[in-house]
Chains A and B, each alone.
Chain A
């Protein structure tokens, strides 16, 4: 069975441009999470989907970030316009039930804004 996959693995964009990250969760997993790690710092929660609904988006930094999960399958995270401080590694995780003990992570997307 395929794990959590993220696209692209790396992205380098200029300040002011738009970038869209994608996460394909494990099939059947209702819960999908986005996290971000800025260089050398902690991994920070961004938001949590249950199916297509946003259960918790308290970690989204500002309105330049837009996450969607149409149909409750894959999710996208769009940053528009990107700023230098948005650079980091964006992780996606999915789980079948609310207990995070069964969550699986993708390999992450490394975003560099120059």
Chain B
């Protein structure tokens, strides 16, 4: 099956930039996603990128995609304590006319005040 891998933990100081990395194996991915999960809550879609793009920026978030290396990253500028959460990388590919999504293990981001 397809794999999505992420490091488990990242700790940064408030105000610094955070970079969360992800690698995937599916060469036929359509979309790549970043989700955020806060304690006790469901997954919230932060942003996604179409597989033929290499960058997407949305306020403090920058997504970079290196399709050749199958590497996705999420940069959070000016990280705040409210950004502490688990961040899941995911990719989807067409399966019978629908997008089938594969998630990573999640990276727990700890922001130190």
Contact = CB atoms under 8 A, between A and B. Distances in A.
A56 interface: yes
A91 B42 contact: yes
Contact of B98 (A37, A43, A98, A101): A98
Main secondary structure of the interface of B (DSSP, over half): strand
A41 B101 contact: no
9 contacts: A4-B42, A33-B101, A35-B103, A42-B102, A43-B106, A98-B99, A100-B101, A101-B33, A106-B42
Interface in A15-57: 31, 33, 35, 37, 40-45, 48, 50, 55-56
B41 A42 contact: no
For chain B, give the interface size range. Answer: 20 to 34
B40 interface: yes
A63 B33 CA distance: 31
Nearest to B40: A107
B43 A91 contact: yes
Contacts of B100: 45, 48, 56
Given A45-B102, A100-B101, 19 more contacts: A42-B102, A42-B104, A42-B106, A43-B88, A43-B106, A45-B100, A48-B100, A56-B100, A98-B97, A98-B98, A98-B99, A99-B99, A100-B99, A101-B33, A103-B45, A105-B35, A106-B42, A107-B42, A108-B42
